[in-house]
Amino acid sequence: MNLTTNWLGLELQNPLVPSASPLSRSLDSAKALEDAGAGAIVMYSLFEEAVRAEEEGMSRFMHEQETGSAEAESFLPSHQDFPGELDRYLEQIASLKATLDIPIVASLNGVTASGWMTHAKEIADAGADALELNAYYVAADIWEEGHYVEQRYITLLNELQQQVSIPINMKLSPFFSSIGNMVKKLEMAGASGVSLFNRFYQPDIDIGGMRLQHVLTPTHSADALLTMRWIAMLHGRVECSLGATGGVHAAEDAIKVLLAGSDVVHLCYALLNNGPEEIGRIKKGIGEWMEQHGFEQLSDFRGSLSQVNVQDPAEYERLNYIRVLGSYDSPGGVWR
């Protein structure tokens, strides 16, 4: 069975790509993902806040060195003795590249196009095959108009392109008025791909203690349906790569997003919960399903359930909506 796929211009042996998670923090777990059959790995994110904090700390450190006496300075440790988050990140890229054969995609996580982004160049120099940008931005200012929020993404992408020539993948949230148009604009601005969708973590309220609760709740297969719809809507209408992220837990979920038209299928919770072997199980499930249906390669069925041949997708979506509401059957004995 030929599962090869092209993602961001990279040739992958198969479409299963672990998304950003702590699994890439250790060489052992990253190697376990490769051994289990991952097509590529997206690294955990380097956060804008961590880089900024480090730069501020460094400038204070240098300033204190300068103001001390020459004799005292010789007793002070050199700043190289304290590798910070950025240095550790660069070292991890280099180690992953030296140890693994599959492509390594670095991940930046931030919202302002400013100085911290210059480090993207070091990330590319360290050997990353591509760069993902997760602009985890909650538009909380009620006076900020939607087009400014969209422009932020384009500006961030432009800034990254000034720094690197490796492919850039944008991990997007579903909270845009016109997702398709946003993807098209990013593609026109030079994005090599988009991953749909970034998950906004939602704080809960503890009514006993009357305080906020910040909990990381796992995703479920049903979460992949939103991704599936938008991948289906965009396949064939944009040329950039499409990655499905969020809610893929089983071979069935992966097959659905491939039928919708994704180039890669990201996995996170499925691997955190069940270990790296889950990649092998999902891959096997895809292979068996392909065999049952007489498919030899992904291109035989990828996007076959997309909306590329639907003349008016908006109208089609409304008709489906009306049909789904109409299918409601009341449970006996509850409503008369």
Cβ distance to ligand FMN smaller for residue 207 or 216: 216
Cβ distance to ligand FMN smaller for residue 85 or 150: 85
41-80: which residues touch ligand FMN (CB under 6 A)?
A: 44-45
Cα–Cα distance measured from residue 259 to residue 261, given in angstroms and rounded to the nearest whole number:
5
Site for ligand FMN contains 109 (CB under 6 A) = yes
Work out which of 95, 155, 219, 221 binds ligand FMN, going by CB under 6 A: 219
Site for ligand FMN contains 247 (CB under 6 A) = yes
Work out the number of other CB atoms within 10 angstroms of the CB of residue 64. 11
Site for ligand FMN contains 229 (CB under 6 A) = no
Site for ligand FMN contains 20 (CB under 6 A) = yes
Site for ligand FMN contains 245 (CB under 6 A) = yes
Site for ligand FMN contains 246 (CB under 6 A) = yes
Work out which of 21, 173, 262, 306 binds ligand FMN, going by CB under 6 A: 21
CB of 302 to ligand FMN, least distance (A): 20
Cα 333 off chain centre by: 46
Site for ligand FMN contains 3 (CB under 6 A) = no
User: How many residues lie near ligand FMN (CB under 6 A)?
Assistant: 23
Cβ distance to ligand FMN smaller for residue 198 or 306: 198
As given in the structure block, the two tokens for residue 173 are: 């949230």
Which stretch, 16-24, 62-70, 162-170, 321-329, contacts ligand FMN (CB under 6 A)? 16-24
SS3 of the chain: CECCEEECCEEECCCEEECCCHHHCCHHHHHHHHHHCCCCEEEEEEEHHHHHHHHHHHHHHHHHHHHCCHHHHHHCCCHHHCCCHHHHHHHHHHHHHHHCCCCEEEEEECCCCCHHHHHHHHHHHCCCCEEEEECCCCCCCCCCCHHHHHHHHHHHHHHHHHHCCCCEEEEECCCCCCHHHHHHHHHHCCCCEEEECCCCCCCEEECCCCEEECCCCCCCHHHHHHHHHHHHHHECCECCEEEECCCCCCHHHHHHHHHHCCCEEEECHHHHHHCCHHHHHHHHHHHHHHHHCCCCEHHHCCCCCCCCCCCCHHHHHHHHHHHHHHCCCCCCCCCC
Work out which of 30, 38, 171, 233 binds ligand FMN, going by CB under 6 A: 171
As given in the structure block, the two tokens for residue 108 are: 């930046």
Which stretch, 13-21, 144-152, 231-239, 256-264, contacts ligand FMN (CB under 6 A)? 13-21
Site for ligand FMN contains 248 (CB under 6 A) = yes
Kindly write out the interface string for residues 177-216 of this chain, putting x where it contacts ligand FMN by CB under 6 A and - elsewhere. ----------------------x----------------x
Site for ligand FMN contains 19 (CB under 6 A) = yes
Nearest by Cα to 191 from 161, 218, 215, 217: 161
261-300: which residues touch ligand FMN (CB under 6 A)?
A: 266-270, 272
Which stretch, 20-28, 279-287, 291-299, 316-324, contacts ligand FMN (CB under 6 A)? 20-28
Site for ligand FMN contains 173 (CB under 6 A) = no
Residues that bind ligand FMN (CB under 6 A): 19-22, 44-45, 107, 109, 134, 171, 199, 216, 219, 245-248, 266-270, 272
